[in-house]
Amino acid sequence: MMLVDTLVERIAACKAPVVVGLDPVIESIPDAYFADYDDSLEGVSAAIYDFNKDVIDAIEGLVPAVKPQIAFYEMFGSAGIASFEKTARYAKAKGFVVVEDGKRNDIGNTARAYAQGHLGKVRLNRKEVSSPFNLDFLTVSPFLGEESLEPFIHVCREYDKGIFILVRTSNPGNRMVQDAKSSEGKTVSEALASYIDTQARLYTGASGYSSIGAVVGATYPREAAALRQAMQTSVFLVPGYGAQGGGAQDVVPCFNEDGLGAIVNSSRGILYSYLAPYGKGCSKTQYRQSVTQATQVMQREIYAALRAHYPKMIY
């Protein structure tokens, strides 16, 4: 079964086109997770892994995917990256699709190094091994143009992996670059959508969807509707829900009538919803319950909004 079909199947099984962002912001994690460790790069990285395991346990069976944002691991250097690798492994062992938010981009053999390292295989001196990350999906920035995307797409096809190419990000300042127009009058977002659609149609699964996907923010519902039309087979990764201001109604246009075609991310809204009722002194048990509850609330909100708009949805 292809990756994209696995994702679709799990979305339907959970009735949750939802991905939980694993963004370990040290200042916002309950104190309890640091109790066993010293204040070193290694200690904090170990605490982050314990924290992530509890989040993953708390959402098991509720959502199909998790999305670690590598910036929050990379900032602790090699110790942080080791924690990232362990987190990805733990999530995969629990059956989650793992989406790395890395927004990587480059050209030629550098782009290939990113693609192989995060998604594919890497050549050591005389042998080839699975990449140390071995993730399912990676977010990719397209600032260097189509030729910077090709090495990633090539690796997706070779190893049945996926990418979400930034097309319309959730932040207001995106317009400086993403609304600029080509001489043919297409915006950068539209030109990217057209390119992605072509690539996605060349690599679809039995579900009719493709793991050559796009990032489309929840904060611009009108653009999202047009982009949905322009990229019917691509899965959208939808940031901007919750803490960034997007609501359940806003994400509806990111979906097709079958209720598929997008996964909506929430990070802070789930990971740090515990702060208001409990504060940093929260116990680990309270913390896990809070994560479970916030995820269930998000699932219900999005599922209800989709049901109301798409009577033909298939789950």
Q: Which is nearer to a second copy, 73 or 303 (CB)?
A: 73
Based on the shown chain and the rule CB under 8 A, indicate whether residue 50 belongs to the binding site for a second copy. no
Q: Crossing angle, helix 108-118 and helix 146-159, to 10 degrees? A: 30
For residue 179 the two structure tokens come to 């609304």
Closer to a second copy at the Cβ: 140 or 251?
Answer: 140
Site for a second copy in 291-310 (CB under 8 A): none
How far apart CA 208 and CA 199 sit, in angstroms, is 14
Near a second copy by CB under 8 A, which window of 110-118, 220-228, 248-256, 271-279? Answer: 110-118
Report the nearest approach of a second copy to the CB of residue 30 (Å).
11
Given 15, 67, 94, 103, which residue is catalytic? 103
Q: Please report, as residue ranges, which positions from 145 to 204 form the binding site for a second copy (by CB under 8 A).
A: 145-148, 166, 169, 171-182, 187-188, 191-192
The one-letter code for the residue type at 237 is L
207 close to 260: Cβ distance less than 8 angstroms = yes
Query: How many residues of this chain interact with a second copy, rule: CB under 8 A?
Result: 77
Q: Is 17 exposed, middle or buried (0-12, 13-18, 19+ CB in 10 A)?
A: buried
Residue 62 near a second copy by CB under 8 A: no
Q: Which stretch binds a second copy (CB under 8 A): 7-15, 43-51, 205-213, 270-278?
A: 43-51
> Does the annotation count 103 as an active-site position?
yes
Q: What do you get for the CA distance between the two ends of the chain, in Å?
A: 19
103 binds a second copy (CB under 8 A): yes
Smaller CB distance to a second copy: residue 131 or 210?
A: 131
Q: Give the contacts of 239 (CB within 8 A, at least 6 positions apart).
A: 169, 170, 215, 217, 218, 265
CB of 276 to a second copy, least distance (A): 18
Give the nearest distance from C-beta 282 to a second copy in angstroms: 15
Kindly tell me which residue out of 2, 62, 113, 275 binds a second copy, with binding defined by CB under 8 A.
Answer: 113
- Amino acid identity of 35? A
- Asked whether position 78 contacts a second copy by CB under 8 A, the answer is yes
230 forms part of the interface with a second copy (CB under 8 A): no
Among 49, 51, 72, 164, binds a second copy (CB under 8 A): 72
User: Does 76 sit near a second copy (CB under 8 A)?
Assistant: yes
Residues 15-34 that bind a second copy (CB under 8 A): 23, 25-27, 34
CB of 108 or CB of 279, closer to a second copy: 108
> Considering the complex, what minimum distance in angstroms separates the CB of residue 205 from a second copy?
27
Give catalytic residue positions: 103
